[in-house]
Amino acid sequence: MSYRRYPLSSRPRTEGPFRRGFLKHIILHYLEERPRHGYEIIKALEERFHGLYVPSAGSVYPTLQMLGELGFVTSVEQEGKRVYTITEAGQRFIAEHKDQQKGILEHLGWVSPENIGDLGRTLGEFDKLAELLSRGIRRLDTGKLEQLRRVISRAHEDMEGILRTQAPK
């Protein structure tokens, strides 16, 4: 499996901001706007996430191939690049899953330029914490593990409170 890193992270992520099955909807959304080649889709997603997430070619191109096998997209070679176009079947799929598509697009709207620096720094701190724990946790005795669990539990409760009080946008 190919992994892609968040630029501010030191450890690989496997899914990025997508849940299973989201990527096909997003690709169809971009192809509904106009025909594109795979690299254009990758760049569009990178722009959407202001550089915090860049999908790998290893996730985009197999998804395009699957969409082709389902009959949702076609492709032609143009100037040395494979350009993908949504088909009528792909448009029907979007129409039949409009609510799901809307929910996915809303889910992806969480990154805004005004908080990009803070978001990147926060994700970086999370990655540092995860790396620290993954390196040291196996050597701890039961008492130290219990201390860590309590610290993590308090932090979780505090963060949950912060997130709960965040005004919806």
Answer for the pair 6, 52: CB distance below 8 angstroms, yes or no.
Answer: yes
> Residue 156: which pLDDT band, with cuts at 50, 70 and 90?
very high
pLDDT at residue number 3 = 34
pLDDT value at 20 more than 90: no
Return mean pLDDT, the chain.
Answer: 81
Higher per-residue confidence, 30 vs 123: 30
pLDDT digits (tens, 9 = 90+) for 64-98: 999 999 999 999 999 899 999 999 999 999 999 88
Those residues with Cβ within 8 angstroms of residue 31's Cβ, 6 or more apart along the chain or in another chain: 41, 73, 84, 85, 86, 90
pLDDT at residue number 16 = 52
